[in-house]
């Protein structure tokens, strides 16, 4: 960036110098032309005042012409051999307006001349000329000085561009090195950008910490059932277990394997949600159908725990969430309500519409959640009662999955709970 800024500043400076030189040269040459014509007019006035029109001078060409264009006298050529001059622009203008001037190549002398012509009292025309090369020589004599000035200015601009580039880039470089402490010296226009970078930096660090904590938790959670499986299998392999123990150990291995499988499935689901690899998220589904299916699937589990499930919902509640995510969310919330309920408790599943939103609500009459835990229950592997959760087969990832699904589908998730009275979890989506 530093080289690019430096190059751009230098290019702008050189462009400005060239344009200024061209404009000033044009102005100078125009002024010089005006001065030459003014001098020619003054010389013509002196000649008229002296009355000597056939004066010879090395600086000027003097020509006397009759009003019919015939040349009577020319100071640098033979008047007898010259063609009629009535067609010359300056002579023609003089005949029409009393005076004329112009710059052109002389047919007689094959050189470029400045001319001024004026009608005399006897209707003859006095023309005074000056060769153009003398004007150009004046201009050329100034050219070396102009070139030196251009080079000098280019050098100054190069040094200034280096200084300005350093001055412009310095606050940005300091900001890059001190993202955590943006000073007042940073350009105001860059403050939003720096703030955004800060925010992203903090999010990356936070995400890294969450992933590190998640990895540690996953290792611990996977280690527990694997250790149990390995221990029971070792006892069975050694032959130390009798038939009764074998049956017990087999059951424990099955439970640990089931828990391990549940953990792996939940971890895979969270990884998919984290990576954004959700294929059917744009699919519109009827949430009422999915809720009814999930209630029927979990009714047997509820009956085993002496829990009564009641479903109440509108027939059509279309939500852009995708079938797989909808099933995951609904099943998790209803299963949680059953798992952490009290014997002979109730689970109420409701679907309704309110204020342009589709509302899905799961209410239980279970153990409830204390206020200090309510903000954290959607964290991965967070359990209010760890021993109870593991005993009931919970992985600690169900509500984390629910929260992620709500995030990727723009769902509004809320929780109301009171210990020993139950919990209400509500999710809302725009129709």
The answer to whether 65 and 124 have CB atoms below 8 angstroms apart is yes
325-337 residue pLDDT tens:
888 899 989 998 9
Reading across the β-sheet that carries 346-354, which strands appear in turn?
308-313, 346-354, 357-364, 422-430, 412-418
**CA–CA separation, 401 and 269 (whole Å):** 7
Transcribe 191-223 into DSSP letters: HHHHHHHHHHHHHHHHHHHHHHHHHHHHHHHHH
Provide CB contacts within 8 A for 65, sequence distance 6+.
71, 72, 85, 91, 117, 124, 125, 126, 127
Query: Does pLDDT of 80 surpass 60?
Result: yes
Q: Quickly tell me which residue has 């010359």 as its tokens.
A: 88
Least confident of 90-94, 125-129, 173-177, 265-269: 173-177
Q: Give the per-residue pLDDT at 215.
A: 73
The answer to whether 337 and 363 have CB atoms below 8 angstroms apart is yes
Highest mean pLDDT among 16-30, 33-47, 278-292: 33-47
Q: Give the per-residue pLDDT at 415.
A: 92
The two three-digit tokens of residue 414, written as one number = 């809320």
Bridge partners for 415 per DSSP: 425
Task: Please state whether beta strands 412-418 and 422-430 pair in parallel, antiparallel, or not at all (unpaired).
Answer: antiparallel
Secondary structure element (H or E) that encloses residue 364, with its range: strand 357-364
Q: Give the per-residue pLDDT at 422.
A: 92
**CA–CA separation, 281 and 269 (whole Å):** 14
Query: Can you say whether the dihedral through the CA atoms of 394, 395, 397, 401 is positive or negative?
Result: negative
367-420 residue pLDDT tens:
888 888 887 888 776 766 554 445 555 566 778 888 888 888 888 999 999 998
247-292 residue pLDDT tens:
888 888 887 787 777 777 777 776 766 666 665 566 888 999 999 9
pLDDT band at residue 58, thresholds of 50, 70 and 90? low
First to last CA, the chain: 49
Q: Give the per-residue pLDDT at 134.
A: 52
The two three-digit tokens of residue 258, written as one number = 């089931």
Cα-trace Rg, the chain: 50
Q: Give the per-residue pLDDT at 28.
A: 79
Query: Does pLDDT of 57 surpass 70?
Result: no
Query: Does pLDDT of 55 surpass 70?
Result: no
Mean pLDDT rounded to a whole number for the chain: 80
The two three-digit tokens of residue 135, written as one number = 């004007």
427 or 15, greater pLDDT: 427
Q: Which of 88, 75, 392 is nearest to 258 (CA)?
A: 392
Average pLDDT over residues 142-167: 78
Query: Does pLDDT of 300 surpass 80?
Result: yes
102-150 residue pLDDT tens:
888 776 666 788 999 999 988 899 999 888 765 566 566 667 877 787 7
């Amino acid at each position: 960036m530093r080289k690019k800024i430096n190059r751009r500043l230098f290019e702008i400076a050189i462009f400005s110098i060239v344009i200024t030189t061209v404009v000033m040269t044009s102005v100078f040459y125009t002024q010089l032309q005006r001065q030459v014509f003014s001098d020619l007019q003054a010389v013509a006035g002196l000649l008229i005042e002296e009355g000597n029109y056939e004066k010879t001078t090395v600086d000027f060409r003097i020509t006397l012409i009759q009003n019919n264009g015939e040349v009577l006298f020319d100071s640098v050529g033979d008047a007898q051999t010259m063609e009629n001059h009535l067609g010359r622009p300056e002579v023609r203008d003089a005949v029409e307006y009393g005076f004329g001037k112009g710059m052109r190549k002389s047919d007689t002398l094959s050189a470029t001349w400045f001319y001024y012509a004026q009608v005399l009292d006897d209707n003859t025309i006095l023309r005074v000329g000056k060769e153009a090369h003398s004007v150009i020589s004046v201009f050329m004599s100034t050219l070396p000085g102009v070139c030196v000035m251009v080079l000098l200015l280019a050098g100054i601009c190069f040094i200034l561009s280096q200084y300005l580039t350093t001055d412009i880039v310095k606050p940005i470089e300091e900001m890059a090195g001190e993202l955590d402490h943006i000073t007042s010296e940073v350009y105001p226009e860059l403050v939003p950008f720096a703030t955004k970078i800060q925010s992203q930096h903090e999010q990356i660090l936070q995400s890294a910490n969450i992933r590190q904590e998640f990895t540690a938790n996953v290792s611990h959670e996977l280690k527990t059932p694997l250790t149990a499986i390995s221990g029971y299998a070792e006892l069975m392999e050694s032959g130390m277990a009798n038939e009764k123990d074998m049956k017990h150990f087999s059951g424990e291995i099955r439970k640990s394997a089931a828990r391990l499988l549940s953990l792996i499935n939940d971890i895979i689901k969270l990884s998919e949600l984290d990576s954004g690899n959700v294929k059917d998220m744009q699919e519109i589904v009827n949430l009422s159908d999915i809720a009814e299916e999930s209630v029927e699937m979990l009714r047997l589990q509820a009956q085993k725990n002496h829990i009564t499930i009641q479903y109440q919902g509108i027939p059509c509640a279309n939500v852009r969430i995708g079938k797989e995510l909808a099933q995951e969310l609904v099943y998790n919330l209803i299963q949680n309500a059953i798992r952490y309920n009290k014997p002979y408790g109730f689970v109420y599943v409701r679907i309704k519409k309110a204020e342009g939103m589709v509302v899905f609500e799961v209410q239980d009459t279970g153990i409830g959640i204390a206020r200090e835990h309510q903000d954290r229950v959607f964290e991965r592997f967070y359990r209010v009662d760890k021993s109870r959760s593991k005993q009931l087969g919970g992985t600690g990832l169900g509500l984390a999955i629910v929260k992620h699904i709500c995030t990727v589908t723009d769902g509004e998730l809320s929780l109301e709970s009171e210990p020993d009275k139950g919990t209400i979890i509500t999710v809302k989506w725009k129709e």
